[in-house]
Amino acid sequence: MMLGYSFSGFTYPDENAQSGRLRRAIPFGVFARQALSRALSIEENFGFVTKGEGAGPGVLARYLELGALLEVVAAKPSNGRFYGRPYLGIGPSVALRLSCELTEPGLLGTTGCKTRTKDYGLRAFDAGVVTGFGLEFGRGQRPRQQIELRYSRGLVDIGRAGQTTHSHVVTVWLKAGLPAAAP
């Protein structure tokens, strides 16, 4: 299981300075890891994430996101009863938008990400690159926990008229794994 706290925004200068206000959210999801060697593993994750801007007025889009990260152990884990394993990760992600809404005062009955005067133009699909680092820790053969800091950068231009605009999200993830199956 994964539970996080994220900050998201868009990479454009807005005439109303909205790109300076980050949207906060609590994403969640599940993950699975497959070891390739002692130093390399692949993690697949599937999560419900939020992308948007503005703490009050702005736009809020909810996505289902699928990612695959190649993780490289940054240091050898300790051999004692307690262990810590720092790692670095990088990989692609794809996201499908579930919903989109404007969160500006006075906009009642809006559907999607546009009004008669403003079009946020968020596409229904986003692809991105994820980078991050984390620490896996635990004790003996018990389930392992992780804390991870990730940066996700969208590669799809969200389509704002006349501007090149991409999403970016910084997330702190707390992850708990299930115990390994007994042979």
Burial code (b: 16+ CB inside 10 Å, e: under 16) for 150-162 equals: bebebebebeeee
User: What is the pLDDT at residue 183?
Assistant: 41
Q: Give φ, ψ of 18 to 5 degrees.
A: -75, -25
Half-sphere exposure for 21 (CA within 13 Å, toward CB): 13
pLDDT in 10s for each residue of the chain, 183 residues: 899 999 888 765 555 544 557 788 899 999 998 889 888 999 999 999 988 777 556 778 889 999 999 999 887 666 666 678 899 999 999 999 888 877 666 655 555 676 666 666 677 888 899 999 999 887 766 657 899 999 998 887 765 555 667 788 899 999 987 766 544
Burial code (b: 16+ CB inside 10 Å, e: under 16) for 132-141 equals: bbbebbbeee
User: What is the pLDDT at residue 121?
Assistant: 63
The CATH architecture assigned to 2-172 reads Beta Barrel (2.40)
Structure tokens that stand for 61 in this block: 């889009």
Per-residue pLDDT tens digits for 23-71 = 888 999 999 988 898 889 999 999 999 887 775 567 788 899 999 999 9
Q: Please, which residues have CB within 8 angstroms of residue 116's CB and are 6 or more apart in sequence?
A: none
User: What is the pLDDT at residue 114?
Assistant: 66
- The secondary structure of residue 19, as a DSSP letter, is G
